[in-house]
Structure 1
């Protein structure tokens, strides 16, 4: 008596290696990405030839309408957050290019009144 062989079962390819690669890529991009908070409003920075890298955590944003933002707080809340800073910390100002210079001078005077001694002005590249 002759029996026929059972049909060969085709093995499905495992997706586990592909899932492993996807998770490794995800971890790589999460570790290598620099996650910084978004500015509270859109700014167009003044232009300069300097290439100094500034800290993102200690950034004061100033809009063209003289509205300030710091660490997610805007207006009076931003000024309250600035008063809690250590006076030895370095603060970066990202002011809109359309902000009038006398308004920027008033902000700098107010920061000096708080006691902040070192302030950097962020500018864009041409």
Structure 2
């Protein structure tokens, strides 16, 4: 009796389809994810009960810290340069939206200064950023 060694059968697992599916899922999640842009400037915003739907719209963010310093897109701006910086970012478009983020401890005259500057540029689409009140807070 002659015993032949059994042929060894190599099973190959093709992982190419698995890699394709993983890449497709990665691309899907990257495209469908919305990124929340938050400012690195820490402000204590006043609270408001009103809610607003946020849309992806080109806008300029003007922030005022508690000491009265102006920031446009998180970059410190001198009082004298505020008008020029807003004008350069808006490219002279009076319909550009402006979001005013003022710390709750900011003096009122600093907010009025920004509003007067915007009025001088004929910009009327101005929003004031607030935060929702904490639970139980009125």
TM bin, normalised by shorter chain, reads: 0.7 to 0.9
Q: What RMSD, in angstroms, separates the aligned Cα atoms of the two structures?
A: 2.5
SS of match in other structure, 1:92: strand
Gaps of at least 5 residues in structure 2 are: 134-138
In the other structure, the counterpart of 2:121 is 114
SS of match in other structure, 1:47: coil
Gaps of at least 5 residues in structure 1 are: none
Show CA shifts across 1:13-72 (max 9, x none): 3332332232222222222223355425122321101111245631323122322223x6
Residue from 61, 74, 77 that aligns with 1:75: 77
Q: Residue 50 and residue 116 in structure 1: after superposition, are their counterparts in 2 closer, same or farther (change >3 A)?
A: same
Contact 1:47 1:123 (C-alpha < 8 Å) held by counterparts: yes
* Paired residues, number: 124
Whole-angstrom CA distance in 2 between matches of 1:100 and 1:108 = 13
Q: Residue 33 and residue 78 in structure 1: after superposition, are their counterparts in 2 closer, same or farther (change >3 A)?
A: farther
For normalisation by structure 2, the TM-score amounts to: 0.71
Contact 2:83 2:117 (C-alpha < 8 Å) held by counterparts: no
In the other structure, the counterpart of 2:106 is 99
Deviation at 1:94, TM superposition (A): 2.1
| Range with bigger deviation, 32-41 or 104-113 | 32-41
Deviation at 1:81, TM superposition (A): 3.5
